[in-house]
Every structure is written in structure tokens, then in C-alpha cells.
Structure 1
Amino acid sequence: MKKGPKETEEGARRLSRRAMLLGSAQAAIVATLGARMASMQVDQADTFRMLAEENRINIGLIPPARGLVYDINGVVLADNEQHYSITMTREGAGDVDEVLARLDRIIALDPERLEKARGELKARSPFVPVTVAERISWEDVSRVTVNAPALPGVVAELGRSRIYPQGPDMAHVVGYVGPVSDYDLSQIDDQDPLLQIPRFQIGKTMVENRMERDLRGSAGTKRVEVNAAGRVMRELDRVEGIPGADVQLTVDARLQNYVQARLSGESAAAVVIDVTNGDVVGIGSAPSYDPNVFVTGISTKLWDELNEREVEAPLHRRPLAAKTVQGTYPPGSTFKMVTALAALEDGKVDADETVRCVGHTDVFDVRFHCWRRSGHGNMNLNESLKQSCDVYYYDIAQRVGIDKIAAMGRKLGLGERHELPMSAIRSGIMPDKAWKREARGEDWRIGDTVNASIGQGYVSTSPLQLAVMTARIATGRSVTPRLVRSIDGVEEPSGAGESLGLNENNLRRIRSAMYDVSNHSRGTAYRTRIAAQEFRMAGKTGTSQVRRITQAERDAGVTRNADLPWNRRDHALFVSFAPADNPKYAVAVVVEHGGGGSTAAAPIARDVMLQALYGGTPPLSAYPSASRSAIAAQQRRLEPLLREIRPGRDTDEA
């Protein structure tokens, strides 16, 4: 139907209004967009320029060089070495399994490391490099480079890692580093972003662990250009980090090498302290292990071997344990000086009065035996230490009481956790009445005092504590062990200590008796004395039981240590200081299940002491004439284990 003029005119007016409304809306939108664009381009230009730059440029961390560890003479104990590694990217390789198979034919790859690399290649982004092999030789690098066309995605890289030139000698002192694990991150309260770097290494044990923040240093930074996928295109600039602090220890690498050699074949520990300043110049534990195997990741097989999981009991000798600070043992007769000093200081005992030893003491209905079944006869202080009579100490301990004995033990450094930068240091036990109530929920008994008087029962000490005790007796000062001499050239406080406040006459009596232990013909360590007059040694033997001897066994005859399984034999101990008239060093030796202190521990302590005093192999004239042929044979036997060690970063390894 045809529209009239009026209708046509009305339709035109409606269309014009709609067009105006639509045009106005469009104009408003365009104006708003224009204003927004102007604001972004002018007012917010800097902000968006920064955001764009951050999308294009990433800031990364550069691991700093780890601080070095030196011995007292400047011999490097922990160093950093450049090494070659092989990395692979999944993106570049294409067929990962095929390329890895080719690489394995060119250079021998560790199967365990290879399997781990396969898992990492699958888990990580295709352009992230994964380490396939570490510490490879230059010859292997050459082979990989020559075969590069057949190995897409494979690159040989130059890196830096930790190395321990002294190997097993310093394993229980310096420790080792390893890659940061999830467990490490959960255990440490450290926000250092370096810890997030893949395979970044931190100290795991001993000095490396306890001095981690000093040795680690501070990260550097680098700016790299990345594409939209996040792949690095080029490096724009870098600022190197601050290297970690160099740490100088008090340990003498040459003496330490001898200590480890002398302890070889034993499950034992030895500590040597310079009594003038508390410096720990030797602190060896055997058997040991090579810390270098931990740096790149230890195999499961070797880990099981070091944990002795494949060794049948009772021959577990714990190569990973630092027995010097982590092992605690009944001190046996080496504790008798503590009991004697407590009695002398308390005034309950006169050094010249005697106690008759008939081979045992009865306390109510319990019989406590002396090690000599027939007894020692009348014993005064000097004779009791010289011949190590037990009954004498049973008697005086009951008079002075356990609390005063324990107080003296603590004054001499027992039952105390000495703060060295070593892992899992144990404080041992210096028991008293309060300790037993708290730890055992029981009252102290007289029999406990009798046992404690000769270093048995609840008393437990480490070789380090025994060395400290001996140093304090030798000097009358509160000698404190020191393992770190300086950090970046700044010397740490001396451990010489102040006076213990003990009566000097009482100390002289104890020292005189210890001198007779080693130098009197009836002394228990006479056969292992030092013959050189200027280096005469004062000492004390100790033998601590690890099993109970029944009355039936005593009646039938106590079984010899040699006839017992290894883990049921007595521990052997010896403590000493020398020269006796002007002490320089204190030595403590513990041989686990070694039998007798005079036969197993004293010879080691004597040899270690002479090595320290002479600064090297002593002349045969320093030994008793009857022992010289055996000592000469021993020196020949140890020679292959001793290395020429020079200050600096060079070491000649035999």
C-alpha cells in the first residue's frame, strides 16, 4: 500500500532522530577512547614503558664465588675449581632419547645421572638446559664438540664447583656442599634468592654448613633479553657478586694427615689442642670418607656403603660420623682426675692419706670391683692415679658426693657443648642428683656415685671434652676450644681462658701423678712413654666397659676382650699433655672397642703428641729404646698414607 506524504515525512523525521542519537553515541565512544589513549600515551607513558621493558628484559642472579677454607699454615682445605659439564635442551634435541643414546656412545654417562636427567628434561620447559654430565674431562669435551652436528641441543659448558684437596683427612672438619634440596629449604630460615637457583650448592655438614652465610657471599645480577616464550636471546649487562669470605681454621693439615693415617684401621677419634690458646690443631675421626663424592650427588650404592647398610653387625664403624664431637663414651679412668680434684678442693681428702684396696668395695649389698682382682694394697692419691686403682675412688667419692664431683667435671669442660662450627656436637652427660630426677624420674643412689667416680654409670663424654679437660688441668685455665682462627683476615678471639680458681697445689699433685702414669715403671702407660727429656708426657689411661660382667663370669674368670665380639669389647682411652713441665699440647684418644687404654689408645696418643711437638716425623731417639724397631716398622707402614702438603692451592697427593 502506498504511503501518503504525511507518513513519508514522519518516517524521515524518525530516521533523522535515530541517526543523531547513534552518531552522538559513536562520537562519545570515540571521544572516550581518544581521551584514554591520550592518557596512556602521555600521562601513563612511563608506567607502560616500564611494564613493556619488564616483559622484554629479565633480571637474573649470578652465583658468587664461594669463600675458600685454609688450614693454620695457608694450605687450602676447600677450593673452587672450574669444570666442564654437558647440558641439553629438549627443544634443541628433538628426539631426546635418541640424542642421549648417541651421547652415551661418545662419552660414558653415569646411568643414575642419565636417568635423573631424563626426568628433568620431561619436567622442565623445553628451552631450559638440564645437566646431563658433570666434571667431565677436556677429552670428553672435545669429543662432544667434534660430534656437535649429531648432537642437537647438547652443549659443553664451563662451570665452577667445590673441591676438597685433602680428601678424607678433612671430611669430618670441613664437611661438604651439595645442591639445595626441598628439605634444606624447609629447615632453614633464609630468604636469600640464591637458594632458588637450580642446583645451587650450600654447605651440608661441618664448617661448610655452620659457616654457610660467611662462605656463600652475595649474588650478582645480569639483565637478559627474552622473547615472548621466555627464551633468553642475549645478555645485556651484568654486575658480579661479592665472593664469600675466606675462612682460616686452626687445624694443621700436616698433623691432621698424620692423625688420620695413625688411626687407619680403627674406629677411633683423636683431638689435639694447643693449650696456650685453645686452638684445635688436630681433630681426626676414623674411618673417614671422601667428601668430593657428595659435591655432584652421591650414588645410592655408595651412600649405602657409607651407611654400612650392607655390612653385618657388629662391625658398624660409622664412617660418616665425626666421633670427635658426635661420639660420647664412658670416660673410664680418665675421669679419676675429676673425682680427685673435687675431693682435694673440698678438703675431704688429704693427698697423702691412704685407702686400702683389697680388690673390691661393698656398698650395702652391692660389690664394686677393682680392675685388679687381687687388689692394690694401700693407695694414696699419686699411687691411685699411677696404677689406676678403682677402690681408692670408690672411697673418696662417697665422702665428697656426686654434686661436687659433677660441679668439678663441668668446671673442667665435661657435660658442656663446646661451640665449634661442626655438626651435631653432643654435650655428653655430667650427671648429678638433679639430673637423675629430671632425666630418669628417680633419686640418686650411693651406687651411682661409686660408678661415676671411675667414669662409668651415667657419665658420658666426647673426645673433644676429654681434650678440653686435659688442657684445663695442664694450665689451670678455662681453655676453650677454637676451630676458626680468622674470617677474611679478621682473627677470632683466643680460647686461652681465665684462671679456673683452683688451688695450684692441688693441680700440681694431679699433674705429678699423671706424669708418673707415663714415666714411672709402675705407671699404666710407662711402656708408651716419651723418651725425649724435653718432651716428657703426663697422661692417664682409661678403659670403659660397654657390657655388664656378671658374678658368675668373675668366678669363672672374666672373658678377655680379644675373645669377645668387637662390639662387646671395652673402649680404650688415653689423655695426655706435654711437655709435662711446660705444656704446649693436650691430646685425647678414644678407640672404640679397642680393649685396654694402655695398649690401644696410649700408643696412638704418644705418636700423635710427638708428631705435634716435632712438627713432623720425630727421631727414633724420642721413643723408648725397646720400642724403636717397632716404631721404625710402623713409620714405614704409614709412609704411603702420608702426603707432602704445601701452603697455597697446590697439594702433592701420594
Structure 2
Amino acid sequence: MKASRFTAAHQSMTFSRRMMLVGGAQAAFGGLLVARLGYLSVAQNKHYRLLSESNRVQLIIVPPRRGWIVDRRGKPIAINRSDFRVDLIPEQVEHPTETLRTLTDILQLTPDDVDRIIKEMKASRGYQPVQVAENVPYDQYAAITVRLPELPGVSPQRGFSRFYPAGPAVAHLVGFVGAASAKDYEKEKNPLLVTPGFKIGKEGLEKVLEPKLRGIPGGQRVELTARGKLVRELEPKPDRSGQTVQLTIDADLQEYAARRMGDQSGALVAMDVTGGDLLAYVSMPAFDPNSFSDGIGRTEWRMLSEDDHIPLLNKVAQGLYPSGSTIKPAMALAFLKQGIDPARRVNCPGGIRIGNRYFRCDAVHGSMDMHSAIERSCNTYFWATGLITDPEKTTEMVQYLGYGEKFDLPIPSQRFGTMPSPKWLKEKYHREWQGYDTANTSIGQGYVLINPMQLAVMPARLASGKLLLPRLLMPDRRLPTPNLDVDPAHLEIVRKAMSAVVNERGTAVGSKLPLEGILMAGKTGTAQVFKLGQRGHQSNWALRDHALFISFAPADAPRFAIGCIIEHGGFGASAAAPIVRDCMTYLFDRQKAMDALAPLEKQWGGTLAERTARRQAQFEAASKANLQA
């Protein structure tokens, strides 16, 4: 009996101890839970509240308005204008098939458009919009708006699109904008890039200046249900527009030069010689940047890509050409620096023999000194003088004046050409410099290649006597430009000879300025393309010689310099010089220059815009006829 009582008491005591241990453990665990809950609800309240917000609040990006590009006087070159587009909010679309059918009828969507929209709707998240169409005509936009009650999920939007008032005249200068590609998004994982209606710079200044022009996006926060349905719109965050960029360009001169070039293929660059400001940067023919920004059609793209004048090529930045005789003023300075007497005379019997080759001049010029050799463009003088001077030092002077030089400009894909020398030839082709290399270089042929920008810098430096650098962006402050390390007396000899080219008996005497008291100095050039001795007489356009002209004015107190090349124009005097004359006239007397342009455009069949529209219509008609045949 005692054993039994002991056992019961022992069991009771053991059970009580166990209960106390379990209860204590439960109390401790409960305390930990309470403490953790307190920590989460108080100390971590802000953190988890934000996480909760992110689950039910979505941010819709509002694209910023792109910064303007304006000329030196503030005239718009690239601006934004109001446009209309239509988006879809996938989660709000109740009947996708019927909705797309209605939108197709109103907006005239193509099957490719519909396929894209369906694909993007499937990939879209909730309230994220999908673009249906942009640049929608107002009548279509209005038709969508009045039918909104029967089109849930359709969201007509009023936004901004890029617009270039001068069209093709500024195409190769400013470039264009377009929707970001997959490659663009890979480089910059920015959700703004895939926002409907947002575009980035794709070419030209639009591309290079993208960081300045883009701006900062805004946002619209929207409260959604767990299934993505819109509850309400919260306070928006406004976007910040991109910066306005001011160029040194004179927009009026830019447009005039583009029109004056007519249907020619080539480039023209104008500079202010007092500081290096670029006033015109023209490459023709060109494309309409508005077409690219709006989404170019297949027919227009084919028309541009099949044109043998290559309107898609920026000839100012990427075109390389022999300089022809435009190199002769620089060659003369090089000769003077090496001690050649400008009065020294060379007889031109119509050519010169160098080794076993006979180099034929354009004419029998007779006795030539330096002045008359530049004025009459006598090759024999430069061949003979080049042979008694150091070609390495000669090349250094020509490069010093701009040919072959690289310039720091906000232009993509620039090519800078070649100014050959004995050292360059040895490194490049592993051979020694020969007399015929001197002959070719002395008249801007052989290995000599320059771009149209250099064609303007050369006369600007000759005219100003300063080491001018071309600039395209209006500077905040202007720094002094160093003088050329050239004897001023030598510069004056060359300037007078260049004035004689236009105003006395020179090769451009037909291109005098029609202005009282203002003389233009210049130098013609004809760069051989096909064969020596044929000098531009080919009937095949692609085999004709290039025509070049460099100039500055006024000759006695220079303010402006212009370089121009007309591809396969034949002769500098007849093709390039008249264009430069009229553009230079425009800088001094705009009305007189416009009066000269009017009959030319009538002869060509209308203005640049009219001819472009007509050419596109003809190409489209021909394309349709070919499809039907």
C-alpha cells in the first residue's frame, strides 16, 4: 500500500513539473512571437508598408518632352508638336477580338500591326499600356473618342512628336528620332525606352546629344486591385523637359544652300571666320527626317536606298574626295615657307616629264609666277616647284591648314581622309616616295582625300590667319583663337592670288559677287574620278570629275568662308563656284540671293519640297505599276 501511495504521489509531482516546463516553453515562445510581431509592426512598419504599397500601386511612366534644337538666333530646327495616338490597357479590354476589329476599321491597321498588338498585349502586365497607333489623323482620333463607351480599354492619348520645319535641308545635320530597338534596350535597361510613344535619337545631333535632349520622365501612380483593375489615380509626378540646344547654324542660310544645290549631289559648309562658327552644314540630296521620325514607309525607303546619288549618306561627315586644285593655296604657302621666291617663274609648255611619265597640264600657260599659277590654276608650276621642295614639310603645311585634320564635332561616324607624305607612304605601303607622288599630291590627286568640312576650314584659316576650329554648338563663352604660325606677308600673297581667281582673269571669273564693293576670293578644283586627260567630259554621270570650290569674303576683310563639292559635277568653275557665289551673296544681301534662286527653281521644276514630293509620287506610281505587271 505504501508503495502504491508513493507511486501516485511521485507521478503527480512528475506531471506537475512537466506541465510547468511545457507551460514555460509555451510562454517563452509566445513572448518571442509577441516581440517579433511588435518589431515588425513598429520598427519595420515603414519597410513593409512600402512593400505593401508596391503590390497594389503601379507607376505608369510619362515620357518627357524632348528638348528643342534651335539655330544661332533661336529659330527652331527640331521641335515638338502635338500629335494623337491610341493605346490599349489590356486588363480593361473586355472583348479583344471585337475591339481590335473596330480599331482596324477606324485606324486602317495592317495585319502586321494587329499581330504586333496581340503579341504585346499578351506580354503586357496589367495596366501597362500597349501602343496601337501613333501620329493618328484628327478625324480618326475623334472617331475613336466618340466611341469610347463601347470600347473599354481603348485609351486615346494626346502627346508630342518630333518635327523638323526645314525637312530635308537639315536631315544630315540633326538626324532623326525613332523608337528604341531591342539593341538599344540591351545597352540601357531603362523602362522608359519601351514606353509607348517614347523615341530616342537615332542619327546625327539627335543621337549625339541624346543625354541633353531626352529630359527626365514623370509618372502617374495608379491604385489597382489584386487582378490589375484600376481603382483610382494617385498624385502624378510631372516630367521635366529636355534641354534646349543652340547651334551656331544660320537656319535660313542652311535652307537656302540646300535649295540652291538643286538636284546636284554634294555638300556645302559655311563658316564665320571671326570665330569658327559653322553657319551651314548641307549634304544633298537628303531624306525627310519627319518621315523617319514618324516611321518611314517601305516605298519611300526603297526610293532612298536605290538612288545612285545616295541621299542616305552624310557627305559632309563621311564623304571623302580628292581635293583637286583647291590644295594649291596651301601648297603655295608651303613653298614660301621653304624659301621659294613668289616671283620665280616656271614655263608651262602644256605639261612636264617626270621620270618616264609625261604629266599634261590643262593648257599651255607659258611663263607663270606664283600669283598667276594660282590665278590660272597651272599644274606645271606646282609640279615643277614641288620637285625642288621637301614633300614632308609641304604636307605638314597642308595639314596645318586643315586638310586631313580631325575635328572634335558632335557628329557621329566622321571620316577625315588622308594627306600623304614620304613617312606616311613608307609606313602604309612600305615603299619610297617618288617624283610622281609629288606630282599627284601637288595638285590634290593620288592619295589625297579630304572631307567637305576640311574644304571650308582651309579658306577660313587662310582668310583669318588664325588656327580656327569649326564649332557647331553655341559656346557659353568665346576663347581667343591663336594665330597661324605663318608669315603674314606670305598669307597676303596667297589671298591676293585667290582674289584674282574670281575678280581678274582667273578660273572662276564668272562667279563674281553681284554686290557693290564686296569681292570674293576663291580657288576652283576639279578632282579626277575616271582617267587623266578626260577632265569631266564623260557622259556617264558616275564617271565625271568632282567639282570643288573654296572661298572667303570680303576679300579685303574676310568674314565668311565656304567650301563646296559637287559630286561628278565636271568642273569647279561651272558647277561649284556659282552655288558658292549665291550662298555668299545670301550672307550679305538675302533678297538679291532669293531673286537669283527663283528662276533656277522654276527651271528645275519647283522648290526642294515640291520636287521631293513629286519624285516620291512618281516612284510610288512606278512601284504599283510593276506590281500589277
Identify the TM-score tier after normalising by the shorter chain. Answer: 0.7 to 0.9
| CA-CA distance at 1:542 after TM superposition | 0.5
Change (3 A) 1:401 1:237: same
Structure 2 match to 1:648:
none
| CA-CA distance at 1:445 after TM superposition | 2.8
**Contact 1:324-1:464 within 8 A present in 2 as well:** yes
- Indicate the larger mover: 318-327 or 141-150: 141-150
Residue 494 of structure 2 aligns to which amino acid in structure 1? I
| CA-CA distance at 1:43 after TM superposition | 4.1
Structure 1 match to 2:277:
279
| CA-CA distance at 1:329 after TM superposition | 0.6
- Alignment partners' CA distance in 1, 2:69 and 2:76: 6
- Alignment partners' CA distance in 2, 1:84 and 1:443: 66
- Aligned mate of 2:249, from 248, 251, 264: 251
Structure 2 match to 1:454:
443
- Alignment partners' CA distance in 2, 1:405 and 1:241: 57
Change (3 A) 1:417 1:560: closer
**Contact 2:354-2:436 within 8 A present in 1 as well:** yes
| CA-CA distance at 1:297 after TM superposition | 3.0
Residue 607 of structure 2 aligns to which amino acid in structure 1? L
* Matches for 1:198-213 after TM superposition, within 5 Å: 200-213=198-211
- Aligned mate of 1:291, from 289, 292, 302: 289
Relative to the length of structure 1, the TM-score reads: 0.85
| CA-CA distance at 1:428 after TM superposition | 1.7
> Per-residue displacement from partner, 1:279-307 (whole Å, max 9, x unpaired)?
21122111111111222433344334322
Residue 502 of structure 1 aligns to which amino acid in structure 2? V
Structure 1 match to 2:617:
none
- Aligned mate of 2:235, from 227, 234, 237: 237
Residue 201 of structure 2 aligns to which amino acid in structure 1? G
Change (3 A) 1:358 1:112: farther
Structure 2 match to 1:609:
584
| CA-CA distance at 1:27 after TM superposition | 5.2
> Per-residue displacement from partner, 1:331-377 (whole Å, max 9, x unpaired)?
10001111111001111x211111122222222223322233xx322
Structure 2 match to 1:641:
607
**Contact 2:131-2:196 within 8 A present in 1 as well:** no
The alignment partner of 2:387 has SS state of helix
> Per-residue displacement from partner, 1:380-430 (whole Å, max 9, x unpaired)?
111211111111111111222221122111221121122222222222212
**Contact 1:83-1:135 within 8 A present in 2 as well:** yes
- Aligned mate of 1:353, from 335, 344, 359: 344
- Aligned mate of 1:518, from 480, 498, 502: 502
**Contact 2:92-2:229 within 8 A present in 1 as well:** no
Residue 417 of structure 2 aligns to which amino acid in structure 1? G
Residues 1:161 and 2:161 are matched in the alignment: yes
Change (3 A) 1:566 1:618: closer
* Matches for 1:112-511 after TM superposition, within 5 Å: 112-125=112-125, 127-186=127-186, 194-195=192-193, 197=195, 200-229=198-227, 233-308=231-306, 311=307, 316-347=308-339, 349-372=340-363, 375-485=364-474, 491-493=476-478, 497-511=481-495
| CA-CA distance at 1:31 after TM superposition | 4.3
- Alignment partners' CA distance in 2, 1:68 and 1:50: 38
- Alignment partners' CA distance in 2, 1:44 and 1:609: 73
> Per-residue displacement from partner, 1:166-222 (whole Å, max 9, x unpaired)?
2111111122122222323456xx687744645532222222222222222334455
- Indicate the larger mover: 25-34 or 241-250: 25-34
Change (3 A) 1:112 1:53: closer
**Contact 1:66-1:215 within 8 A present in 2 as well:** yes
Change (3 A) 1:398 1:119: farther
- Alignment partners' CA distance in 2, 1:432 and 1:465: 18
The alignment partner of 1:204 has SS state of strand
| CA-CA distance at 1:64 after TM superposition | 2.8
**Contact 2:401-2:462 within 8 A present in 1 as well:** yes
Alignment RMSD, CA only? 3.0
Count residues with an aligned counterpart: 606
- Alignment partners' CA distance in 1, 2:233 and 2:594: 62
**Contact 2:176-2:206 within 8 A present in 1 as well:** yes
- Alignment partners' CA distance in 1, 2:608 and 2:516: 27
Change (3 A) 1:84 1:457: same
**Contact 1:255-1:616 within 8 A present in 2 as well:** no
> Per-residue displacement from partner, 1:292-330 (whole Å, max 9, x unpaired)?
12224333443343222xx5xxxx222122212221110
- Alignment partners' CA distance in 2, 1:569 and 1:612: 31
Give percent identity, aligned residues only: 39
| CA-CA distance at 1:453 after TM superposition | 0.8
- Alignment partners' CA distance in 2, 1:412 and 1:79: 37
| CA-CA distance at 1:260 after TM superposition | 0.9
**Contact 1:169-1:284 within 8 A present in 2 as well:** yes
* Matches for 1:617-636 after TM superposition, within 5 Å: 617-618=592-593, 633-634=599-600, 636=602
- Indicate the larger mover: 326-335 or 157-166: 157-166
> Per-residue displacement from partner, 1:34-65 (whole Å, max 9, x unpaired)?
34333333443343333323433345554332
- Alignment partners' CA distance in 2, 1:193 and 1:126: 15
Change (3 A) 1:439 1:51: same
Residue 591 of structure 1 aligns to which amino acid in structure 2? I
| CA-CA distance at 1:126 after TM superposition | 5.1
**Contact 2:205-2:411 within 8 A present in 1 as well:** yes
- Alignment partners' CA distance in 1, 2:82 and 2:594: 42
**Contact 1:210-1:421 within 8 A present in 2 as well:** yes
Residue 489 of structure 2 aligns to which amino acid in structure 1? N
The alignment partner of 1:139 has SS state of helix
The alignment partner of 1:458 has SS state of coil
| CA-CA distance at 1:229 after TM superposition | 4.2
Change (3 A) 1:239 1:539: same
**Contact 1:225-1:234 within 8 A present in 2 as well:** yes
Change (3 A) 1:232 1:429: farther
| CA-CA distance at 1:143 after TM superposition | 0.8
**Contact 1:261-1:638 within 8 A present in 2 as well:** no
Residue 140 of structure 2 aligns to which amino acid in structure 1? D
| CA-CA distance at 1:30 after TM superposition | 4.0
- Alignment partners' CA distance in 2, 1:619 and 1:81: 29
* Matches for 1:565-580 after TM superposition, within 5 Å: 565-580=540-555
Structure 1 match to 2:515:
532
Structure 2 match to 1:555:
none
The alignment partner of 1:367 has SS state of strand
- Alignment partners' CA distance in 2, 1:11 and 1:371: 133
Residue 67 of structure 2 aligns to which amino acid in structure 1? G
Change (3 A) 1:90 1:58: closer
- Alignment partners' CA distance in 1, 2:86 and 2:435: 68
Residue 317 of structure 1 aligns to which amino acid in structure 2? H
Structure 2 match to 1:623:
none
Change (3 A) 1:148 1:199: closer
* Gap runs ≥5 in structure 1: 550-557, 621-627, 644-654
